[in-house]
Chains A and B, each alone.
Chain A
Amino acid sequence: MKLVHKDIEKDGKGVVVLIPEEAEDMWQAYNIIREGDRIRASTIRKVQNESSTGSSTSHRVRTTLTVNVESVDFDTQACLLRLKGRNIEENEYVKMGAYHTIDLELNRKFTLMKEEWDSIDLGRIEMATDPTQTADVAAVIMQEGLAHICLISGSRTIVRAKIDQNIPRKRKGDIKQHEKGILKFFDLVMQAILRHIRFDIVKCTIIASPGFVKDQFYEYIIQEAVKNDNKTILENKSKFITAHASSGFKHSLKEVLTNPSIASKLEDTKALSELKVLENFYKILQSESTRAFYGISHVEKANEALAIETLLITDSLFRSQNIAERKRYVKLVDSVKESGGDVKIFSSMHVTGEQLSQITGVAAILRFPMPELEDDEEEDDDSDECISLPQS
């Protein structure tokens, strides 16, 4: 994302002009734009023309519109961001107050106006416009009969394909079906890789599995590529790395990313530092449980006591359309920073952020133990629906 212009007043009111340069940036924009913001961008509008005879024809025109955003929709797979609202600047095609939906487009600038830009939004813009943050990696997480093909970028991980195939087990005196089943499965995974992974973009492709599936599979694709003279694979042979994962389910990706030999390949230090912090949180929870808490009410109480050393929070909490709720989290973040604490904002679209979201999305490592919090019942929301399922 490119920052063209930024003008923010003392009270937080201001304007920012940005140019999204890749699909990834739509995701970043999605995290910044909320209901109530105003946006100006180039867009396409269908216009009705009424001829003198009374018959009407319609045609499309490109024009620049400014709307007051009423709804924000993001399509994760297609990376499409749609902003719907009423027009607030009359122009030759569109009346004041008429509804219009702007689809943000790549390489076209947009202007975003907010009544109040807060620290999270500004931090997000800083992150999004930092070119070193974009590192694309593909990962194939597999076990016999199950594979997930994921794309990992600076701010998110998406599953592009899932292969779930029954493989006959090994049976006394009949191993052919088993071995055939494996080959068929490998073939499906390989096809999916060729379809979904763009080797010109990704820096590397991780093949991870328990046992020897990863090695077997790597051998398989190389062999097949040689046999069929598949240039894409052969030319990118060096981009494949194998790693251990305990299962073929997506959440095993966490283990892969913490693996030092893989971590060194991913310059993306953000995902890695998130992982380390999360792991540290669990460690302390086990060894010194009164220094680690999760859930907003516990964490807020710890913050009141100026006890927070590290705050872990997922960005999905800032996407809340409930303004008061969002403010609550922003205040927490600001206050922790003020008192010298470290704040780690996790991307909810990474496996780590996904895990953090599962434990309410907010957690803290304290400077000193606060056993008094333990007896304090975490407000029990009793809602199972707040548990979002891991994407699989």
Chain B
Amino acid sequence: MARHRNVRTTQYSDDEYYDDDDYSNSFEDDCISPSDAIYLINHKPKFDSDQEFTDAKVNSCLQRVTEVLGFEIPKDVLTGHLIRNEFNIDKTVDQILNSKSGDTKGKEYQGTEDNSSRPTVVIASSSKNKDSIVVGFGNTSISGSKNKNLTATPKQTPFSTPICSPAATPRNRSPQSTRVGSPRTDRKLNSPKNTKVKDDSGLSTSHHKDQLYLIIIGHVDAGKSTLMGHLLYKLGHVQQRTIQKYEHESKKLGKQSFVYAWVLDETTEERNRGITMDVGHLKFETKTKDVTLLDAPGHKDFIPNMITGASQADATILVVDATKGEFETGFDSGGQTREHALLIRSLGITQLGVAINKMDTVFWSEERFEEIKSKLGLFLKQAGYKESDVTFVPCSGLSGENLATKANESLLTQWYNGPCLMDVIDSFKPPERPISKPLRLCISDVYKSLGSGYSIVGRIETGQMRVGDKVLVQPQGEIAQIKSIEIDDLPQPIGLAGDFISVGLAGYDAQTIYSGCVLCDPSFPVPITSILEARVIVFNVDFPIVRGHQIVLHYQSSSESAVVSRLLAELNKSTGEVMKKNPRMIKKNTHALVKIQLSRPICVEVYSDIRQLGRIMLRSGGTTIAAGLVTKVNFNK
């Protein structure tokens, strides 16, 4: 246990801490536990001096190895090989080509533990090189050069190499090899049809688009659904006929202004009331991205659903209503603008666009735009968003202005020359896909599928799964086999970290599965616990948190009733130092270490192990009182 824990910590903190470094002085950094910080402080300098040296060497070898192999290999993998072979390129190439059968999942973890490769992980993942080593999807630089390779050396396509050969069975392929290029492409590799059209660069580029999950948030009636519905219509994803039908039907209900919202608000209740209740999903493409849109409900009572959606998202658009008085209502306490923005930030999402909507109601006033921008900007900065990560866009969801194309409205173009909403979405950075970590699929839904049995829906947070794989269902603690994988209703042989998928299970009664369960790697099971310790940031609450506070704990796509069973310490906001042990209460806007007792066991991870599963939110009386990171789950050891 201790052994692989150790390895995990190395991997994760390396992979991810530096990523956070990008958003320095952000909320999230505050949240790194003191012990993590110590760990990182102790470890980083150790390699620092070597790093530059090794790095330079690796860089020079990288190109040559790539030329010989005819395909790119992730730098961290390559670095490992290079160091082991003392930078002998021939040996390295040999080893890579031979590694196909020997490498198993288990081995990879061991390998990382091995001393010689340890530093490499650090090097490869340091923020400096981040661009060239982003694991998995969407690294444009990798995909780009890969295409070049394809055309330059058509005979030496990736498809003929041992590692990526479609003939290689999924099981004995090294997990590392799947990091090559975009996993999207990788999926195609397994389909014989696609190998024939490999030279069609036009086609392959379209598959090289980065995948992005985008959540639309904001106060109730800010116009989120309308904005997105209209955007999709403009992009041709909604047929004219459908819109006409909606127009007709909504008129009958006296809700004609909701035509575009109906694209996303599909249930009878939602349409009758003109309110989004659960997250709506839709897909569209921008120049460089495949976007999955998650339209969150704005109503206070549906925040649990909004949290579920947000736990799947990589970036967000915050919609505010520019109408006089309306922006203020949403922004004041009691409105959802702040709570949504804080929740999103505490879920680790840092990329935010702000759509200042309904600009038609204020006659596209620049003054109003600037007023909202400055008020909101200040708040967002305090909330931990980096100023340069936030873009403000004036638009109108109802008239469709400045959504898919640059503005036409002369009142707007007089003073505005910035990006339209599509440009902002297109400019979001694709997320990292931690494919090489142990599998974690967080289940958010179970439904009856068309064919046989039930489908389990969720996002693969880390790792990967293939059809035929055995997975552990937690907290049930039972093994199931993956019968099928579907992404966007299309069957796929493999699902990778970052994918939102539907899976069919064999040999398991899916009806016992509920949202909040996790499918994981049987050799690295997700912990199950009914007690946890967490470092929390208390929001602007009306009542202080005292020992025994009854709460609803939100994690991933689920929630459970719980009690704050102990207040361990009040912490310094910036340093994380203990300011007071066993405080008798925790007041608003402070940081603290608390112990939480759940009314039934849940699946969570310590944040430093797998951060995707290490975030929690504490709600009580319908408002979010705190957000936190799990620091401890195992209490009997």
Q: Is the CB–CB distance between A170 and B267 below 8 Å?
A: yes
Contact B544 A358 (CB under 8 A): no
Residues in A342-392 with C-beta less than 8 Å from chain B: 354-355, 357-360, 374, 377-378, 380, 384, 387, 389-390, 392
Inter-subunit contact B444/A378 (CB<8 Å): no
Pick the interface stretch among B134-142, B278-286, B468-476: B278-286
Q: State whether B563 touches A168 (Cβ < 8 A).
A: no
How close is B186's CB to chain A, nearest CB, in angstroms?
26
Expressed in whole angstroms, the minimum distance between the Cβ of B296 and any Cβ of chain A is: 13
B269 touches A166 (CB 8 A): no
Task: Kindly provide the distance from the CB of B581 to the nearest chain A CB, expressed in whole angstroms.
Answer: 8
Q: Is the CB of A251 within 8 A of B544?
A: no
Interface residue stretch chosen among B372-380, B392-400, B582-590: B582-590
State whether A169 and B267 are in contact (beta carbons under 8 Å apart), knowing that A286-B587, A390-B563 are contacts in the complex: no
Q: How far is the CA of A168 from the CA of B548 in the complex (A)?
A: 33
B302 touches A247 (CB 8 A): no
Say yes or no: is B149 at the interface (Cβ < 8 Å to chain A).
Answer: no
Pick the contact of B543 from A172, A249, A285, A298 — CB < 8 Å?
A285
Mark out the residues of chain A between 163 and 206 whose CB falls within 8 Å of any chain B CB in the assembled complex. Answer: 166, 168-175, 177-179
Flag if A247 contacts B546 (CB, 8 Å). no
B261-295 contacts to A (CB < 8 Å): 266-269, 273, 277-282
Chain A proximity of B195: nearest CB distance (Å): 31
Q: Measured between alpha carbons, how far is A283 from B585 in the docked complex, in Å? A: 13
Instruction: Closest B residue to A255 by CB, please name it.
Output: B621
Q: What per-residue 1/0 map shows which CB atoms of B423-453 lie under 8 Å from chain A?
A: 0000000000000000000001111100000
Tell me the smallest distance from the CB of A277 to a CB of chain B, in Å.
14
What 0/1 pattern do residues 287 to 302 of A give for CB contact below 8 A with B?
Answer: 0010001110010000
In whole angstroms, how far apart are the Cα atoms of A175 and B444 in the complex? 16
B391 contacts partner chain A, Cβ-Cβ < 8 Å = no
A179 contacts across to B, CB distance below 8 A: 267-268
Complex CA–CA separation, A285 to B544 (angstroms) = 7
Q: How many residues of A contact B (CB 8 A)?
A: 49
Residues of A near B217 (CB, < 8 A) are none
B584, A294: Cβ atoms under 8 Å?
yes
Give bound CA distance, A108 to B448, whole Å. 56
B544 touches A246 (CB 8 A): no
A14 to B446, CA, bound (A): 63
Could you tell me if B599 and A392 are in contact, using CB atoms closer than 8 angstroms? yes
A250 vs B563: C-alpha distance when bound (angstroms): 13
Q: Tell me which residues from 285 to 332 in chain A have a Cβ below 8 Å from any Cβ of chain B.
A: 285-286, 289, 293-295, 298
* A377 to B581 CA separation, bound complex (whole angstroms): 9
The answer, yes or no, to whether B345 is at the interface (CB within 8 Å) is no
Q: Would B269 and A358 count as touching, CB distance under 8 A?
A: no
Residues 608-625 of B, flagged 1 when their CB comes within 8 A of A and 0 if not, give: 000000000001111100
Residues in B neighbouring A244, C-beta threshold 8 A? 301
Contacts of B587 in A (CB 8 A): 286, 289
Please determine whether A282 and B269 come into contact, CB atoms closer than 8 angstroms: no
Are B621 and A384 within 8 A (Cβ)? no
Answer whether A285 and B444 are a contact pair too, CB < 8 Å, given A210-B302, A210-B622, A392-B599.
Answer: no
Binary interface encoding of chain B residues 530-546 relative to chain A, with 1 for a CB under 8 A from any of its CBs, else 0: 01000000000111101
Q: A170-B280, A212-B273, A384-B597 are in contact. Are A358 and B268 (CB under 8 A)?
A: no
Are B566 and A384 in contact, with the CB atoms below 8 A? yes
Contacts A359-B546, A378-B584, A387-B548; is A216 near B269 (CB within 8 Å)?
yes
Question: Is B561 touching A392 in the complex (CB atoms < 8 A)?
Answer: yes
Is A340 part of the binding interface, using a Cβ–Cβ cutoff of 8 Å? no
CB proximity of B151 to chain A, nearest CB, Å = 37
The interface residues of chain B lying within 8 Å CB-to-CB of A246 are 301, 552, 619-623
Find out whether the CB atom of B448 lies under 8 angstroms from the CB atom of A177. yes
* Cβ-based interface call for A12 (8 A): no
Quote the shortest CB–CB distance from A289 to chain B (angstroms): 7
> What's the nearest-Cβ distance from chain A to residue B172, in Å?
36
Of A170, A216, A252, chain B has the most CB atoms within 10 Å of the CB of: A170
Interface string of A138-155 (1 = CB under 8 A from B): 000001000000000000
Query: At the interface, yes or no: A211 with Cβ under 8 Å from chain B?
Result: yes
- B281 to chain A: which residues have CB within 8 Å? 171-172
Is B211's CB within 8 Å of the partner chain A? no
Asked if A384 meets B547 with Cβ closer than 8 Å, knowing A169-B278, A294-B584, A390-B561, the reply is no
**Which residues of B are found within 8 Å of A169, using beta-carbon distances?**
278-279, 444-445, 447, 457
From A168, A210, A212, A295, contact of B269 by CB (8 A): A212
Is B549 on the interface with A (CB-CB < 8 A)?
Answer: yes
Cα–Cα distance between A251 and B622 once the two chains are bound (Å):
12
Q: Which residues on the A side are within 8 Å of B565 (C-beta)?
A: 384, 387
B194: CB under 8 A from chain A? no
A97 nearest CB across to chain B (Å): 45
Which residues on A sit within 8 Å (CB–CB) of B548? 355, 357-360, 387
Question: Are A384 and B280 in touch, CB under 8 angstroms?
Answer: no
A177, B267: Cβ atoms closer than 8 Å: no
Q: Are A389 and B563 in contact (CB under 8 A)?
A: yes
Contact B448 A295 (CB under 8 A): no
Question: Which residues on the A side are within 8 Å of B597 (C-beta)?
Answer: 384, 387, 389
Interface size class of B (residues with CB under 8 A): 35 or more
Verify if B299 is at the interface (C-beta below 8 Å from A): yes
With both beta carbons as reference points, the residue of chain A lying nearest to B620 in the complex is identified as: A246
Question: Given the complex, which residues of B lie within 8 Å of A380, measured CB to CB?
Answer: 582
Given the known A-B contacts A166-B515, A384-B566, are A282 and B448 also in contact in the complex, defined by CB atoms under 8 Å?
no
Q: Which residue of A lies closest to B273 (CB)?
A: A212
CA separation between A225 and B118, bound complex, in Å? 68
Residues in B with CB closer than 8 Å to A255 are: 621-622
Interchain CA distance A244-B588 in the complex, whole Å: 25
Q: CA–CA, A255 to B561, complex, Å? A: 15
Of A172, A174, A294, the contact of B546 (CB 8 Å cutoff): A294
State whether B546 touches A285 (Cβ < 8 A). yes
Q: How far is the CB of A220 from chain B (nearest CB, A)?
A: 12
Residue on B nearest A258 in the bound complex, by CB: B621
Q: Are B582 and A378 in contact (CB under 8 A)?
A: yes
In the complex, which residues of chain B have a beta carbon less than 8 angstroms from the beta carbon of A359? 546-549
Chain A residues positioned under 8 Å from B566 (CB to CB): 384
Complex: chain A residue closest to B272, CB-CB: A212
Contacts of A295 in B (CB 8 A): 584
CA distance A101 to B501 in the complex (A): 60
Q: Which of B447, B544, B599 contacts A286 (CB 8 A)?
A: B544
CA A166 – CA B230 in complex, angstroms?
A: 32
Return the contact of B448 from the options A168, A211, A360, A378 (Cβ within 8 A). Answer: A168
A244–B301 CA distance with the chains assembled, in angstroms: 10
A283 and B587 CA atoms in complex are apart in Å by 12
Q: Which residues of chain A have C-beta atoms less than 8 A from B620's C-beta?
A: 246
- Report the nearest A residue to B600, measured CB to CB: A392
A252 CA / B301 CA spacing, docked (Å): 13
Please give the distance in Å from A373's CB to the nearest CB on chain B.
9
| Chain B 497-525 interface 0/1 with A at a Cβ cutoff of 8 Å (1 = within) | 00000000000000101110000000000
Cβ–Cβ < 8 Å partners of B267 in chain A: 170, 175, 178-179
Q: Do the beta carbons of B282 and A172 come within 8 Å of each other?
A: yes
Q: A168-B448, A210-B301, A378-B584 are in contact. Are A387 and B621 (CB under 8 A)?
A: no
Cβ A166 vs Cβ B446 within 8 A? yes
Once the chains are docked, how many angstroms separate the CA of A212 from the CA of B280? 18
Q: Does B595 contact A (CB under 8 A)?
A: yes
Q: For the complex, is B550 an interface residue (Cβ under 8 Å from A)?
A: yes
A-B CB proximity, top 3 nearest: A358-B548, A246-B622, A210-B301
**22 intermolecular pairs with C-beta atoms under 8 Å apart:** A166-B511, A169-B279, A171-B447, A172-B280, A172-B281, A175-B266, A178-B267, A212-B273, A212-B277, A246-B552, A246-B620, A282-B546, A285-B543, A285-B546, A286-B541, A293-B584, A358-B547, A359-B547, A374-B584, A384-B595, A384-B597, A387-B563
Residues of B within 8 A of A (CB): 266-269, 273, 277-282, 299, 301-302, 304, 444-448, 457, 511, 513-515, 531, 541-544, 546-550, 552, 559, 561, 563, 565-566, 582, 584-585, 587-588, 595, 597, 599-600, 619-623
Given A178-B267, A378-B584, 4 more pairs with CB closer than 8 A = A210-B622, A282-B546, A285-B543, A358-B550
